[in-house]
Amino acid sequence: MKTMKIIITAGGISEKIDGVRKITNSGTGRLGSLTAEELVRRGGDRIEKIYYVCAPGSAVPRADAEVIPVQGAEEANTVLERLLTRENIGAVIHSMAVSDYAVDRVTTAENLAGFLADRLSSADRQEFRSTRALAEFLLECINRNDRLLDRSRKVSSELDHMLLMMRRTPKLIGLVKALRPSAVLVGFKLLKGVDRQTLLNAGHEVMKKNSCDLVLANDQTEISGDRHVGYLLSPDGSFERYETKAEISAGIAGRVLSLLEKRERQ
């Protein structure tokens, strides 16, 4: 087998609200760091390099890896894009918990109400023949509201009705096959408090949507301390069930290495 470079993303990424507040995703980086260690242990010389892209403060592997801390989904996106384009990446294990939403704008209910009232007052009332037309007008106004608070410092602690208007962050996983179709891709799906079938279905949906080679589906309620139940799904619908982070990381590392070998033989 030729030597190869692997990207592991890990940890819970934060998104800034203002100068001192942020939104974080649950995620310690422990599973990602264990997977890096397993890959090095099993892959030996075949692993040329591991890029470990993580949230600041995440667990990092006790193995040779280039640790790249990133602030926010948009920075993670930039780093992944650069690595996938410039480096010969054989596999991506995307265990990072990325905020699906970043804070777009910060306002108050008072500011928003004032803005909407001004827009309604100056609009031609005849336009709103139906409640639906009115709702569409209001939606556009809500999304254009420009009476915002300054987020570069710390937003006042004294507001009665602060509103955070969120935008979706880029889906990092979508980059992998778009930029490097040959790479082995392991996706992750975390839900909370759902039954097993719902979890497996959601995992398969992630797999299909992003052309993953494997998906680890897990439920927050089944993760505590050393216990970590995870289902490693294959495209054919089969899966392995694991009960600890050690089992999961060994399972992922083993499967990724054998997929890489198989690809090379083809």
For residue 246, the minimal CB distance to a copy of itself (Å) is: 22
**SS3 category, 259:** helix
In angstroms, the CA 77 to CA 173 distance is 9
Q: Are 15 and 9 in contact (CB under 8 A)?
A: no
Closest to 73 measured CA to CA, from 50, 100, 93: 100
As given in the structure block, the two tokens for residue 137 are 């007008």
Q: Which is nearer to a copy of itself, 182 or 221 (CB)?
A: 221
Considering the complex, what minimum distance in angstroms separates the CB of residue 11 from a copy of itself? 13
Q: How many residues comprise the chain?
A: 266
Question: Which one, 79 or 194, has the nearer CB to a copy of itself?
Answer: 194
Contact positions vs a copy of itself (CB under 8 A)? 14, 17, 19-26, 97, 99-101, 109-110, 112-114, 116-118, 120-121, 131-132, 134-136, 138-139, 142-143, 152-154, 157-168, 190-194, 220
Give the whole-angstrom CA distance, residue 221 versus residue 64: 32
Q: CB of 192: closest distance to a copy of itself in angstroms?
A: 4
Nearer to a copy of itself, 133 or 178 (CB): 133
Nearer to a copy of itself, 110 or 264 (CB): 110
The pair of structure tokens assigned to 262 is: 């198989």
What is the closest distance, in whole angstroms, from the C-beta atom of residue 20 to a copy of itself in the complex? 5
Given the complex with a copy of itself, which of 80 and 256 has the nearer CB atom? Answer: 80
Torsion-angle region of 99 (φ positive above 0: left; ψ -120 to 50: alpha; else: beta): beta
- In whole angstroms, the minimum distance from the beta carbon of 105 to a copy of itself comes to 10
Half-sphere exposure of 27 (CA within 13 A, CB side): 28
